[in-house]
């Protein structure tokens, strides 16, 4: 199985995935790291681990459609089976999502469906919730609305700032993302409607693959 990681920035979740692949916790290969930002730290991390990188600069494309077509074509050429979004700061078009049905996952720093979109940690603090966390989910055509694979809860403590809360959530992200991707790669994840069932030895990957292709 070949994974593509799409990242725009720091790439700490990419790092967690790289380490999980390197120690075979995730039995797959990261075939490519794609960024829309030429200077992204994520690219540097990939290079340090001998992973191929590619940059798609939005400015080089006339609109979202042509940008997404270029990225989709590239990922197909690279025989990518699974796409992991890791701080990729672009919304994927419906065409992009449909090109990889149930084959795109994302990590989001809140307990979805609460606080989708940008600045999820700030949204949680502003709302005054007592618990937030992170979510790994399949990407569908909505904004952070796809079926949920896993979540981790992080309590909000007195005097939390967006920095302190983000740091505690990030710690959980680095554990949750490899765990969820491992389950998907192992074929243990079955999507029924918008519910995800995880079953060891489920062989769902092959079953879903047969149904779809
Ligand atoms: C993380 O908080 C992730 O949940 C969100 O974007 C951030 C990316 O951080 N989608 P990093 O680039 O992986 O360090």
pLDDT tens for each residue of 182-213: 999 999 999 999 999 998 887 776 555 544 43
Q: Which residues of 13-28 are buried (b: 16+ CB within 10 A; e: fewer)?
A: bbbbbbebbeeeebeb
Angle between helices 12-22 and 41-48 (to 10 degrees): 20
- Which of 186, 140, 169 is CA-nearest to residue 27? 186
Token pair of 198 as six digits: 């995880």
**With 80 as the cut, is the pLDDT of residue 122 above it?**
yes
| Cα-to-centroid distance, 5 and ligand 1 (Å) | 12
- Which residues are designated catalytic? 108
pLDDT tens-digit readout, 128-165: 999 999 999 999 999 999 999 999 999 999 999 999 99
Spatial separation of the C-alpha atoms in residues 115 and 60, rounded to whole Å: 32
This model's pTM is above 0.85: yes
Structure tokens at 44: 């540097």
To test the pocket of ligand 1, the residue of 37, 40, 105, 109 to mutate (highest count of ligand atoms within 8 Å of its CB) is: 109
Show the tokens assigned to 160.
Answer: 């939390």
Angstrom distance (rounded) from CA 100 to CA 141: 11
Which one of 114, 144, 166, 170 would you pick to mutate in the ligand 1 pocket, going by the greatest count of ligand atoms within 8 A of its CB?
170
What is the pLDDT at residue 213? 31
Does the CB atom of residue 176 touch ligand 1 within 6 A?
no
């Amino acid at each position: 199985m070949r994974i593509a990681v799409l990242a725009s920035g720091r790439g700490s979740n990419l790092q967690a995935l790289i380490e999980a692949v390197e120690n075979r916790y995730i039995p797959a290969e990261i075939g490519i790291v794609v960024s829309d930002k030429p200077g992204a730290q994520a690219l540097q991390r990939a290079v340090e681990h001998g992973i191929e990188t590619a940059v798609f600069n939005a400015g080089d494309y006339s609109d979202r459609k042509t940008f997404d077509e270029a990225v989709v074509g590239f990922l197909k050429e690279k025989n990518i089976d699974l796409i992991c979004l890791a701080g990729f700061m672009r919304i994927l078009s419906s065409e992009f999502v449909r090109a990889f049905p149930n084959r795109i996952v994302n990590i989001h720093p809140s307990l979805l469906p609460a606080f989708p979109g940008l600045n999820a940690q700030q949204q949680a603090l502003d709302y005054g919730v007592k618990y937030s966390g992170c979510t790994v989910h399949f990407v569908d055509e909505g904004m952070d609305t796809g079926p949920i694979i896993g979540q981790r809860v992080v309590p909000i403590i007195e005097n939390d700032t967006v920095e302190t809360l983000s740091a505690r959530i990030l710690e959980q992200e680095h554990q949750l993302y490899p765990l969820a991707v491992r389950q998907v790669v192992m074929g243990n994840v079955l999507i029924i409607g918008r519910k995800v069932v995880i079953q060891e030895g489920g062989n769902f990957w092959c079953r879903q693959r047969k149904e779809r292709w």
